[in-house]
Amino acid sequence: MQININAVHFKADKKLESFITEKLQKIGKFHESIIGSEVFLKLENTDKPENKIVEIRLKIKGNDLISIKQCRTFEEATDLALDALRKQLEKIKDKKR
């Protein structure tokens, strides 16, 4: 699975990129028809501590799945976004049965 990580208006460190890649590879084993994924990391310019946004787009055969989450850390937002995508994948699997 091809994984593209894009940090908007900042440079993401290698530790964060490897965390996201590792998590996405696990979800890639969960569903066999995933072609690739795009991850967008954004910082919202607000006073709130929940200013980190993670948008994950999974490219699968037929359509794309998108999840956008906002939290205090990129790691937490990534976990929440992947949980939402996992639920979407389960719904697709149930429809095929």
Domain of 85, CATH number, reads 3.30.160.100
In this predicted structure, which of 10-14, 53-57, 61-65 has the lowest mean pLDDT?
61-65
Instruction: Look at residue 32 and tell me whether its pLDDT is greater than 80.
Output: no
> What is the count of structural domains for the chain?
1
Task: Tell me which residue of 80, 29, 81, 28 sits closest to 59, measured CA to CA.
Answer: 28
* Residue pointed to by tokens 């205090």: 72
Residue 93 binned pLDDT confidence (cut-offs 50, 70, 90): confident
pLDDT > 70: percent of the chain: 99
Query: What pLDDT is stored for residue 85 in this prediction?
Result: 92
CA 89 – CA 95 distance, rounded (Å): 10
**Structural domain that includes position 24:** 2-96
